């Protein structure tokens, strides 16, 4: 029998450059004067960080 079921894969959502998620808590971060700040946990990141 060759009854193979194909599992439908959900297409990955397009990544947006103007939105960063906190790598600590995954919350949305806000950019402010070249600093990206997470308002949830307080994690800050330089916007020029690769
Ligand atoms: Zn956070």
Residue with tokens 């894969």: 9
DSSP 37: E
In this prediction the pTM is 0.53
Q: Which of 10, 13, 43, 50 is nearest to 26 (CA)?
A: 43
Residue 36 C-alpha to ligand 1 middle, in angstroms? 10
pLDDT tens for residues 4-43? 787 778 776 655 555 688 999 999 998 888 888 999 999 9
Residue 19 C-alpha to ligand 1 middle, in angstroms? 13
Residue 17 C-alpha to ligand 1 middle, in angstroms? 18
Facing residues of 36 across strands?
A: 31, 45
Give first-to-last CA distance, the chain, whole Å.
50
CA–chain centroid gap for 17, Å, is 9
Q: What per-residue confidence (pLDDT) applies to 6?
A: 79
Cα Rg of the chain, angstroms = 18
């Amino acid at each position: 029998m060759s009854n193979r079921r194909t599992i439908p894969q959900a297409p990955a959502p397009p990544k947006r450059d103007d939105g960063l998620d906190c790598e600590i808590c995954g919350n949305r971060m806000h950019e402010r004067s070249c600093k990206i700040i997470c308002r949830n946990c307080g994690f800050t990141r330089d916007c020029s960080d690769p």
